[in-house]
Amino acid sequence: MKSKQLLLAAAAFAVTIFPVSGNAATFTAVQTSDECSPTPCGILAVNTVTITDVSPGVIELKASLPATWGFILREGGNDASFAFGSRLPFFVLTVQPDTTFASTWSTLSNQSSIFMGGFLFTPLAYAANTSRGSSLGPGNNLLDLDITVSPSFTATAFVNSLAPALGGPGGPAFFAADVLNANNGAIGVINYGQPLAVPGPIAGAGLPGLIFAGGGLLGWWRRRQKIA
C-alpha cells in the first residue's frame, strides 16, 4: 500500500518537473530592418512573426505589431500588406477570427512575384492584404493565419521551405509587412529575419521522464525499507 502511495506521489512530482510534451514546434522571426521613408518606422523587438504547429497538417502564423502600429496597404505602393516566399506550392492561407479587423483581410497564394519596397518575393509568393489604409489609423496590429498543404505538413517543414526575398538594403527578408507607425506618422515596409526555433521542454521530458522519476523514488523507498 505504501509503495503504491509513493508511486502516485512520484508520478505527481514527475508531471510537475517533467511536463508531458507533444511534437509541436515553434519558431519566431523578429524585425531586422526598416525601409520606411522619409521618416523611419523604427526597429522593435516586439514586431514578430511566430510559426507554430497547431494540428496534423496545420500550422499557425501570427504577425504582431504594437497597438500604436498597424498593417496597411498603400494604393500604388506595395503588392501586399504582408508577404513571404516559399519553395513549396499550394499553401492554403486562412485568416483567423482573432485577426484585428479580420473582415478586411484577404489572402493570395502561388503568386509569380510580390513586390515589397525594395524586396521581391519570387515564385512561389504568398500574401495577406488588408483593405485598411493609413488614413484609418493604427490598431490593425495582429494577423493570424492558418496554413495548410498536406497531412504531414509541419512548422519545421514550413520554415525550411522559406525563400528570402531578393534585393533590398536591409539583409535577407523572410517576411515583409507594409505598416503605419502612428507615433511619428511613418509608413513603409519592415522586414523580418530568419525564423529561429523557440526552446522547447527539457530533453527527456514527458512519459520517459515520468517513468524515470517514479522508478527512482520507488527504488529509494525500497532501499530504506531493507535498511530498516
Note down the domain range covering 104: 22-200
The domain tally of the chain equals 2
Per-residue pLDDT at 58: 96
Look up residue 201 and give its DSSP letter: S
Per-residue pLDDT at 8: 42
Q: Which residues of the chain have pLDDT under 50?
A: 2-4, 6-22, 203-210, 212-213
User: Hey, CA dihedral for 177, 142, 54, 94, is it positive or negative?
Assistant: negative
In 3D space, the residue among 64, 204, 210, 60 whose CA is nearest the CA of residue 142 turns out to be 64
Note the pLDDT tens digit of each residue in 30-79.
999 999 989 999 999 999 999 999 999 999 999 999 999 999 998 666 68
The reply to whether 76 and 8 lie within a common domain is no
The reply to whether 88 and 182 lie within a common domain is yes
* pTM of the model as a whole: 0.78
The reply to whether 8 and 64 lie within a common domain is no
The reply to whether 216 and 150 lie within a common domain is no
16: Cβ contacts below 8 Å, ≥ 6 apart: none
Query: What's the rounded Cα separation, in Å, for the pair 14 and 133?
Result: 52
